[in-house]
Amino acid sequence: MRPTLLLSLALALLLPSAAAAYPWPVKPFDRQHPIRGFFGDPRTVFAAGVDDNGIAGPGSFSFHQGVDVAAPDGTPVYAIADGRIRYMGAATVDIVVGPTLTFQYFHVVTVVGEGQRVFARQTVIGYVQAPFGHVHISEIRNGHAVNPLQRGHLTPYADTTKPTVASILVENGNGVVEDPASICGRIQIVADAFDTPPMRVPGKFNGLPVAPALVSWGITHNSHVVVPTKVAADFRHRLPPNRRFWDVYARGSYQNDTRFGDQQFASTPGRYLFLLAQRLDTRHLRNGAYTIHVRATDIRGNTSTAMRTFSVDNSDTTCAASLASSRAPAPPVSLGQP
């Protein structure tokens, strides 16, 4: 085969990933900026206040459908791809690149018009809207939001921090089992896990958590696999539909800077509880010690693990009866802002 043909084939193989890459929406375009909101983060607005047990009630619950790039209010925001503007409403605008690709901008005071042609790195879309202190970018491919932090998308991006599995909770209908030394009946297993942004975020969001890209788990008994590895949350590429919010996150979860009723809890870190098992019936297990293994991984493969042991004792029928009740249903879900 001729060298020129070999070169053409090699370039053709590289083009799909290269074509997907795009720069940061604020200057400098080719330098990484702080991100204060990750793809898949919980977005929670509870209808009732904390004192009214709002955390167990209805509200607006959704997965974060992009990334929040931190930038001072008033910072110029640029096109990250060539395309045409589609105006979506106050402080929201799309760049339509083609029939299968759109970029959405939120929290931008726009200075472009409907149908206007824009060019990557050249056209100012608008300015970061006060008081948000960030621009939200969503990448929509074939009608689905995809993770902008995948390799070959938002570039450059590097991350060497590891997620944290803070705790593994074993719960029943009466709440958390503080000392799971004698478990029987149906249980719910929850992992408190979060990631840390790779760059320091300025302002009130400094030090607040973000979601890992992948949370998985399994159970062993005497080194034998009882529950093979299962995925609790996978935000590496796409998101589950918002109607499945409470299938991924467990009750008790809330976002950074969350709202309960009329009260905004500014600068308060969120709590990201991932639902591993909702109604695991330990009466189907042999008596003895079991170990829950949880793994949290970020978009660059940095990983942390944690373990927790619990003991099954099905001989106590009273215990089995008390723990067998199912938990109350999760709060109703209404679709929230991306």
Condensed to tens digits (0 to 9), the pLDDT of residues 4-23 reads 444 333 433 333 333 479 99
Q: Mean pLDDT of all residues in the chain?
A: 89
Q: What phi and psi values does residue 2 have, to the nearest 5 degrees?
A: -65, 145
Q: What is the CATH number of domain 21-146?
A: 2.70.70.10
- Residue 319 confidence (pLDDT): 57
How far apart, in whole angstroms, are the C-alpha atoms of residue 33 and residue 76? 14
Q: Which CATH architecture has domain 164-323?
A: Sandwich (2.60)
Beta bridge partners of 305: 295
Tokens of 126: 């608008």
How far apart, in whole angstroms, are the C-alpha atoms of residue 335 and residue 338? 9
How far apart, in whole angstroms, are the C-alpha atoms of residue 184 and residue 287? 9
Domain with CATH 2.60.40.10 in the chain: 164-323
Contact 94, 276 (CB under 8 A): no
- Residue 255 confidence (pLDDT): 98
Mean pLDDT score, 221-235: 96
Mean pLDDT score, 310-324: 66
How far apart, in whole angstroms, are the C-alpha atoms of residue 212 and residue 298? 5
Please list, in sequence order, all residues whose beta carbon lies within 8 angstroms of the beta carbon of residue 143, skipping any fewer than 6 positions away.
none
Tokens of 25: 């929406």
Beta bridge partners of 168: 191
How far apart, in whole angstroms, are the C-alpha atoms of residue 54 and residue 46? 6
The torsion region of residue 47 among left (phi > 0), alpha (psi -120 to 50) and beta comes to: alpha
Instruction: Work out the number of other CB atoms within 10 angstroms of the CB of residue 331.
Output: 20
CA atoms within 13 A on the CB side of 264: 3
How far apart, in whole angstroms, are the C-alpha atoms of residue 280 and residue 290? 13
| Kind plus residue range of the DSSP H or E element containing 4 | helix 3-20
Q: What phi and psi values does residue 194 have, to the nearest 5 degrees?
A: -155, 165
- Residue 318 confidence (pLDDT): 56
Q: What is the pLDDT of residues 235-259, one digit of tens each?
A: 999 999 999 999 999 999 999 999 9
Higher-pLDDT residue of 175 and 310 is 310
The torsion region of residue 38 among left (phi > 0), alpha (psi -120 to 50) and beta comes to: beta
How far apart, in whole angstroms, are the C-alpha atoms of residue 184 and residue 288? 11
Domain with CATH 2.70.70.10 in the chain: 21-146
Tokens of 80: 């990250």
Number of helices (H) and strands (E) in the chain: give both, helices first: 3, 23
Does 69 score more than 60 pLDDT?
A: yes
Q: What is the pLDDT of residues 114-157, one digit of tens each?
A: 999 999 999 999 999 999 999 999 999 999 999 999 999 999 99
Q: Find the range with the poorest average confidence among 32-41, 166-175, 236-245.
A: 166-175
